[in-house]
């Protein structure tokens, strides 16, 4: 059975999918107003079954609507300033179609970021600020009023007995719910002459309330019929004849197939594609939703990302094979297998829970069944790893009296300077950061005892730089190093040159004036290694003899120490 409801709702869901696919393909940045930029709206609009006409005064009502619904339902979310598929997207598209529809309806009812007045092309709202917040002196309904009005209109739509014209529906809404969006109880008051902050498109002043209900609330109701009520399957709406009919049920199964081409392009063909299956395709390909035909490009990056989300390469290949009438091209099969194998060669958990087996511990016995929910994987050395769980899951999984070392915070310093160049670090308290520091500066000298090691410090300072190494030492020790050990560390690290302890050649002046004159002598200047203080100079080797000769030429005999 084919009905308008099927077409409208299914098409609505496919429009939603197209918007999400565009988000995957473009990863748009989110501007201050919480929305992507105009370029995104334009390209996403072209991916819709019936795009809005930007030049007919309509902004991009459908895109704004689907973005708001998708965010409300958790299908899209902001991550690091860009829009991306949200945490609930996979679970949503795995639901049966009727449950998906109910989810979208709930999202519309509760959508606080959506204001139907703002996306109605016939209206202008100068008092609506950019962030979609309503000015206190305007009559633009707020989120709670809109939520109640949506439920009222949905109930009216579901109560339709027979076909009804849009005009009749609006008139019925006016007679039954005159204050649906704006309170009209006191329209005779001089304060309520106008719809404050609401104008007709192109008008220079706010609409008068008298005689304009159809032009204000009526146009919003028309938009609600055309978009949410129709696209979320409450009614069948025929935009050409502007008539509403009760929604009919949909029982026809999805019907479509894919064509996988040797150039790695996948085309989805058919009148009734299934949004859930298309979503699976979109999750391991790069969607190309711009054109009329749905296309997906097989690429290594999204394929690997899908594997990281827990999908298996054979599972993905199997999906393609099940949807394609013909066998996959050989080069595509080979590449997919290769990408899967290559991706398995390097696995990264960017935010992980790592359970370390110490010594010969048998973690499977120690952990028991408590940690099954974590989805731990065994890595070499008998350790276990999984993506960091949320706090509640972790608490339930941890054995009694066990705490996790949380590396998103500063961990307590557990290394204490001991006698001489030794360091004490109790094994049971050692975390990775402390162990890393010990490896950078010391060698193990016995249980819990380490000793600062010159060659290790020199090598680490060369790799990290003395400043970075010393900063790590300062941060990692429970107490400062003793002056003697600090001197050794800072010298080994290259921060200091070793001090000079030798028989030195010196030049002393008797007064600052004499020092100034001596410094002016070019024969002397070249032999001064360092100025030690006012009138005191360390000379280079052989410098004392040269200085005496230079002074002799001036008829001066330099004094010697007795």
> Which chain residues interact with other proteins by CB under 8 A?
300-301, 303-305, 307-309, 339, 342-358, 361, 363, 366-367, 379-381, 383, 385-388, 394, 398, 402-408, 431-433, 435-436, 463-464
Min CB(342)–other proteins separation in Å: 7
Decide if 37 contacts 94 (C-beta within 8 A).
Answer: no
Min CB(464)–other proteins separation in Å: 6
Decide if 122 contacts 200 (C-beta within 8 A).
Answer: yes
Tokens 């192109």 -> residue: 202
The residue (of 492 and 527) whose beta carbon lies closer to other proteins is: 492
Question: Nearest CA to 450 among 420, 479, 421, 423?
Answer: 423
The residue (of 390 and 557) whose beta carbon lies closer to other proteins is: 390
The residue (of 299 and 451) whose beta carbon lies closer to other proteins is: 299
Min CB(355)–other proteins separation in Å: 6
Query: Rounded CA gap, 6 and 98, in Å?
Result: 11
The residue (of 163 and 338) whose beta carbon lies closer to other proteins is: 338
Dihedral sign (CA 91, 288, 61, 233)? negative
Query: What is the three-class DSSP state of 516?
Result: helix
Helices marked H in 54-188 — which ranges?
Answer: 61-72, 89-93, 97-110, 143-158, 166-176
Tokens 């997919």 -> residue: 336
The residue (of 233 and 302) whose beta carbon lies closer to other proteins is: 302
Min CB(478)–other proteins separation in Å: 19
Decide if 478 contacts 415 (C-beta within 8 A).
Answer: yes
The residue (of 153 and 473) whose beta carbon lies closer to other proteins is: 473
Question: Nearest CA to 445 among 426, 416, 462, 422?
Answer: 422
What separation in angstroms does the CA of 354 have from each of 346, 385, 497?
A: 17, 5, 42
Min CB(75)–other proteins separation in Å: 18
The residue (of 162 and 428) whose beta carbon lies closer to other proteins is: 428
The residue (of 187 and 356) whose beta carbon lies closer to other proteins is: 356
Decide if 423 contacts 415 (C-beta within 8 A).
Answer: yes
Question: What does the angle CA 17 – CA 12 – CA 176 come to, to the nearest 5 degrees?
Answer: 140
With b for 16 or more beta-carbon neighbours within 10 A and e for fewer, the 224-245 pattern comes to bbbbbbbbbbbbbbeeeeebbb
Min CB(172)–other proteins separation in Å: 51
The residue (of 198 and 307) whose beta carbon lies closer to other proteins is: 307
Min CB(46)–other proteins separation in Å: 29
Query: Rounded CA gap, 67 and 48, in Å?
Result: 13
Query: Rounded CA gap, 540 and 145, in Å?
Result: 88
Min CB(460)–other proteins separation in Å: 8
The residue (of 403 and 534) whose beta carbon lies closer to other proteins is: 403
Decide if 47 contacts 17 (C-beta within 8 A).
Answer: no
Min CB(466)–other proteins separation in Å: 14
String of DSSP letters for 157-203: HHT--S-EEHHHHHHHHHHH-TTSSS--TTTTSGGGSB-TT-EETT-
Min CB(318)–other proteins separation in Å: 18
The residue (of 69 and 307) whose beta carbon lies closer to other proteins is: 307
Question: Nearest CA to 417 among 394, 437, 396, 397?
Answer: 437
The residue (of 12 and 86) whose beta carbon lies closer to other proteins is: 86
Question: 2 — phi, psi (to 5°)?
Answer: -115, 130
Both tokens of 296, joined, read 């997906």
| Region of residue 560 (left: phi > 0; alpha: psi -120 to 50; beta: else) | beta
The residue (of 160 and 386) whose beta carbon lies closer to other proteins is: 386
């Amino acid at each position: 059975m084919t009905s308008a409801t099927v077409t409208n709702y299914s098409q609505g869901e496919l429009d939603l999918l197209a918007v999400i696919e565009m988000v995957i393909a473009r990863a748009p940045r989110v501007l201050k107003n919480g929305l992507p930029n105009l370029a995104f709206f334009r390209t996403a609009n072209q991916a819709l079954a019936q795009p809005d006409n930007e030049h007919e005064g309509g902004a991009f009502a459908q895109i704004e609507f689907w973005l708001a619904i998708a965010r409300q339902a958790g299908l899209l979310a902001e991550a690091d300033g860009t829009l991306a598929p949200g945490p609930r997207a996979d679970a949503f598209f795995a639901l049966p179609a009727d449950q998906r529809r109910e989810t979208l309806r709930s999202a519309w009812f509760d959508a606080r970021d959506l204001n139907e007045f703002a996306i109605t092309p016939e209206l202008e709202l100068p008092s609506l600020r950019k962030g979609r917040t309503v000015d206190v002196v305007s009559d633009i309904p707020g989120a709670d009023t809109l939520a109640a009005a949506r439920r009222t209109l949905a109930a009216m739509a579901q109560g339709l007995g027979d076909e009804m014209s849009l005009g009749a529906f609006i008139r019925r809404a006016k007679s039954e719910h005159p204050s649906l969006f704006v309170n009209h109880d006191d329209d005779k008051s001089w304060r309520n002459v106008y719809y404050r902050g609401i104008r007709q498109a192109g008008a220079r002043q706010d609409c008068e309330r008298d005689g304009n209900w159809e032009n204000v609330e009526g146009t919003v109701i028309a938009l609600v019929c055309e978009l949410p009520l129709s696209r979320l399957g409450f009614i069948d709406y025929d935009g050409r004849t502007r008539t509403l009919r009760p929604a009919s049920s949909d029982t026809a199964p999805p019907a479509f197939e894919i064509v996988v081409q040797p150039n790695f392009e996948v085309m989805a063909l058919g009148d009734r594609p299934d949004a859930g299956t298309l979503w699976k395709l979109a999750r391991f390909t790069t969607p190309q939703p711009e054109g009329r035909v749905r296309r997906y490009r097989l690429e290594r990056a999204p394929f690997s990302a899908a594997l990281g989300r827990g999908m298996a390469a054979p599972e993905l290949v199997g999906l393609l094979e099940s949807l394609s009438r013909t066998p996959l091209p050989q080069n595509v099969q080979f590449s997919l297998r290769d990408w899967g194998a290559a991706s398995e060669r390097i696995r990264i958990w960017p935010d992980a829970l790592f359970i370390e087996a110490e010594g010969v511990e048998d973690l499977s016995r120690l952990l028991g069944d408590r940690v099954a929910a974590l989805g731990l994987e065994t890595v070499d050395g008998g350790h276990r790893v999984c993506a960091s769980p949320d706090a509640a899951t972790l608490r339930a999984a941890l054995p009694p009296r066990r705490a996790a070392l949380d590396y998103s915070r500063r961990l307590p310093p557990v290394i204490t300077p001991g006698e001489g160049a030794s360091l004490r670090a109790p094994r049971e308290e050692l975390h990775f950061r402390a162990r890393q520091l010990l490896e950078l500066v010391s060698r193990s000298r016995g249980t819990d005892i380490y000793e600062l090691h010159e060659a290790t410090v020199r090598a680490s300072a060369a790799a990290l730089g003395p400043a970075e190494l010393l900063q790590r030492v300062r941060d990692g020790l429970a107490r400062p190093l003793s002056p003697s050990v600090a001197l050794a560390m800072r010298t080994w690290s290259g921060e200091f040159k070793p001090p000079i302890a030798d028989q030195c050649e010196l030049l002393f002046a008797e007064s600052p004036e004499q020092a100034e004159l001596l410094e002016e002598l070019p024969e002397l200047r070249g032999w001064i290694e360092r100025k030690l203080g006012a009138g005191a100079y360390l000379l280079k080797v052989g410098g004392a003899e040269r200085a005496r000769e230079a002074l002799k030429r001036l008829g001066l005999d330099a004094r010697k120490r007795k």
